[in-house]
Amino acid sequence: MHQLKIVGNGEAFSATNFNTSYLFKLIKGSILIDCGYQIPARLWLTGDHQEIDLILLTHFHADHAFGIVPLMVRYLEEKRTRPLHIWGPVGVRKYVMELLQMGYPNVSKYFQYPLEFAEFQEEIQDHRTFGGISIRSAPAIHSITNLVYRLDFDAGSFSVSGDGKPTELARELIAGVEIHFQETYEMEDRIPSHCSFEEVLQLVEANVCAAVGISHIARHQIEAMTKEYRRLVENELISERRLFMTYPGQEFEFNS
Ligand SMILES: [Zn+2]
Ligand SMILES: [Zn+2]
């Protein structure tokens, strides 16, 4: 059985929803997708951090990556020896090592565990495998390089958007996926580097994937978006199976 847990579903500065992050629990070990500054304490609370073998970063923004330093240094305190894999866009090694050096200068020389980095190219649909999991990437339109990841495994599939609007390559990548989690920052399509509720409705109407989960809503838009979503569901204009709102702590099981 594989289980996916939403650690957080918030934007950068949300007081209640925590930065958007997903924990994918395998039979042995787990994969963490994004690790913003609000995430380590959420993982420490449940002990979930101990199982993480791979951290996938969608992009190098603080609300998606700054939690990685405290996580790494706590592993040192806990005498971790198992390798920690960190995969992300091109430059991921430099980004993480500089962040670590800024946070705790020279601490990495005490690490008893190896760090294994790997990069996904931005312009193409890139592909790597981890354990039995196929991980593919495609670009999204954000203020900096951002990768959409799709994970396929024997029991199912899901994809996460990171931040940004899906490109043509990203739409091809997520075609037919069981659940796609989409950053949905605003109601209307006004910000060029973020996806909107309007665009998510188009994605659902175009039948690109089986279901879409909404995350990373701007904190001042949560109420309006939730209200509009409920109105659409109540009037049977949208099915809850096809489009749903996420929440921190939400879990999904894949057993097919
Ligand atoms: Zn973000
Ligand atoms: Zn961002």
- The pTM of the whole model exceeds 0.75: yes
The domain containing residue 210 runs over which residues? 2-254
> Ligand 1 (ion): which residues have CB within 5 A?
63, 163
What pLDDT does 27 receive? 87
C-alpha of residue 59 to centroid of ligand 1, in Å: 9
C-alpha of residue 235 to centroid of ligand 1, in Å: 31
Q: Checking DSSP bridges between strand 165-166 and strand 179-183, what pairing results, if any?
A: unpaired
**How far apart are the C-alpha atoms of 42 and 71, rounded to whole Å?**
11
C-alpha of residue 35 to centroid of ligand 1, in Å: 11
C-alpha of residue 255 to centroid of ligand 1, in Å: 30
C-alpha of residue 64 to centroid of ligand 1, in Å: 6
Secondary structure class of 137 (helix, strand, coil): strand
What pLDDT does 206 receive? 95
Secondary structure class of 206 (helix, strand, coil): coil
Phi and psi of 193, rounded to 5°? -105, 10
C-alpha of residue 234 to centroid of ligand 2, in Å: 32
- Biggest CA–CA distance in the chain, Å, is 60
Q: Which pLDDT tens digits describe the chain residue by residue (256 residues)?
A: 799 999 999 999 999 899 999 999 998 999 999 999 999 999 999 999 999 999 999 999 999 999 999 999 999 999 999 999 999 999 999 999 999 999 999 999 999 999 999 999 998 899 999 999 999 999 999 999 999 999 999 999 999 999 999 999 999 999 999 999 999 999 998 889 999 999 999 999 999 999 999 999 999 999 999 999 999 999 999 999 999 999 999 999 998 6
C-alpha of residue 255 to centroid of ligand 2, in Å: 32
Burial 208-240 (b: 16+ CB within 10 A, else e): bbebbbbbbbbeebbeebeeebeebeeeeebee
Q: Checking DSSP bridges between strand 21-25 and strand 2-8, what pairing results, if any?
A: antiparallel
CA angle 255/33/106 to nearest 5° reads 140
CATH of the domain at 99: 3.60.15.10
What pLDDT does 256 receive? 66
C-alpha of residue 186 to centroid of ligand 2, in Å: 14
DSSP 213-248: EEE-B-TTTHHHHHHHHHHHHHTTSS-TTTEEE--T
Count of structural domains, the chain: 1
Ligand nearest to the CA of 219: 1
What pLDDT does 1 receive? 76
**How far apart are the C-alpha atoms of 129 and 46, rounded to whole Å?**
27
CB-based contacts of 10, cutoff 8 Å, min separation 6: 16, 17, 18, 19, 20, 38, 216, 217, 219, 248
CB 146 within 8 A of CB 167: no
